[in-house]
Amino acid sequence: MANVSIAIHGGAGTILKKDMTAVREMEYKSALQQALDSGYRLLSKGAGSVEVVEQTVIMLEDNHLFNAGKGSVFTAEGKHEMDASIMDGRSLKAGAVTMVANVKNPVELARKVMEESEHVFLAGIGAEEFARLKKLEFKNDKYFYDEFRYKQWMDIRGTDRFQLDHSPEEDKFGTVGAVALDQSGNVAAATSTGGMTNKKYGRVGDSPIIGAGTYANNKTCAVSCTGSGEYFIRGVVAYDVSCLMEYKGLDLNEACRVVVHDRLPQIGGDGGLIACDSRGNLALEFNTEGMYRGQQSTTKQSKVEIYK
C-alpha cells in the first residue's frame, strides 16, 4: 500500500491537565481516537483524501464536546453561526460556508459548494438555501443546545466581551479539523467551527477562509488551523506554511514551526495547526498549553494527545 497519513485536531488553547478530570480527559481522547481510527480505516481502504477529511470532520461535528456542528458556541443573540471549509490539494478546488445556522454538518455543505456549485464561498441564508437545494440535513435549535455552552454564554451575555473558545478563562475548546494523504498521493484539508462565544456583528474567523484556516496543495501540504482567528487571517497562516515550503524550500516540520512559533506570535496570535505533505509526513504544532489532536500514518502508530 502507498503511504497514507492523517492528522486531526479538536481545538487548541489553555488546556491544562490540572483543570481536567480523568473522565473528561477520557471522553475527549476516545472521541478523537474514534474519529482518527475511522479516517485511517477509510484511507487504508483506498478512499480519497477529500472524502476522508470530510467524514472525519463530520464525526467531530456530531460530538457535543467540540465547538463545531452540534457543540457550537452561542452568539450574542443566543444563536449558533457555523463556519466550515474544505480544500482538495490535487485540483486546488475549495469550498467554504460561513454564518450558517441549523445545518447539521457544515463541512458537508462546504464540500457541496466545492463540488456542486460554481463558487467557493457562500454565506448565511444563501448558503442555507443552497443546503436545502442539495437536500442536506437540518436540525432544530434544540439539537445544538449544550448546557455548558449555554453557561459560557450566560457569563458574558449582554457585555461587549466575546470569548475565543480557547482563551484562558475557558476550559472548553473545540474548533475541529483534519488533513490527510491518500493512496494516490493527494492531500486535502477541512476545518469546522462555531467560532467565538457571544460573537456579534457577523464576526467571521479564519476557519472558513481558504488560505487562513484551511489550505491544501499537492505540491506542498494540507493544513487546518485553530486559534485566535483574527491573527490567523492576518497571518494567512495555512497558506504561509505552504509558501515557506514552495518558495523557500523548507520541509513540512520546519515550515510549521516557523509559522506557529515565530511568525504567528510576532503579531500576537495563539493557537496551532495540523499539516501533512504528499510524502506522508505529519506536523502538529501549537503555541498554546495544549491542543486536542491525533495522528496516524503508514510509518507512525496511532497517537492521540492533549497536552504539550
Is 90 a binder of ligand ASP (CB under 6 A)? Answer: no
- Known catalytic residue: 288? no
Chain centroid, CA 44 distance in Å = 22
| Min separation Cβ 249 and ligand ASP, Å | 29
Count of beta carbons in the 10 Å neighbourhood of residue 129: 11
Q: What is the maximal distance between C-alpha atoms in the chain? A: 56
Residue with grid cell 463540488, as numbered in its chain: 115
| Residue closest to 244 by CA, chosen among 233, 231, 258 | 258
Interaction between residue 128 and ligand ASP (CB under 6 A): no
Minimum CB separation of residue 45 from ligand ASP in Å reads 30
Residue 227 CB, shortest distance to ligand ASP, in Å, is 5
The whole-angstrom separation of Cα 204 and Cα 97 is 10
Dihedrals phi, psi of 71, to nearest 5 degrees: -95, 20
Stretch touching ligand ASP by CB under 6 A, among 31-39, 53-61, 202-210, 293-301: 202-210
40/239 with CB nearer ligand ASP: 239
Q: Is 84 exposed, middle or buried (0-12, 13-18, 19+ CB in 10 A)?
A: buried
Counting beta carbons within 10 angstroms of the beta carbon of residue 266, is it exposed (0 to 12), middle (13 to 18) or buried (19 or more)?
Answer: exposed
CB 252 within 8 A of CB 283: yes
Contact 216, 93 (CB under 8 A): no
Site for ligand ASP contains 175 (CB under 6 A): yes
175, 214, 226, 288: which is the annotated catalytic residue? 175
By C-beta, is 48 or 195 nearer to ligand ASP?
195
* Least distance between ligand ASP and beta carbon 271 (Å): 6
Per CB under 6 A, 10 contacts ligand ASP: no
What is the per-residue binding string for ligand ASP in 219-238, x denoting contact by CB under 6 A?
Answer: -------xx-x---------
Cell 451575555: give the residue.
Answer: 157
What is the number of the residue whose Cβ is closest to ligand ASP?
229
* CB of residue 35 to ligand ASP, shortest distance in Å: 17
**Residue 238 identity:** A
Closer Cβ to ligand ASP, 106 or 195, answer by number: 195
# chain residues binding ligand ASP, by CB under 6 A: 14
Cell numbers found for residue 204: 467571521
- Which of 56, 193, 218, 242 binds ligand ASP (CB under 6 A)? It is 193
166 binds ligand ASP, rule: CB under 6 A: yes
Q: How far is it, in rounded angstroms, from Cα 17 to Cα 240? A: 31
Where on the chain is the footprint of ligand ASP (CB under 6 A)?
A: 11, 164-166, 175, 193, 195-196, 205-207, 226-227, 229
The residues annotated as belonging to the active site are 175
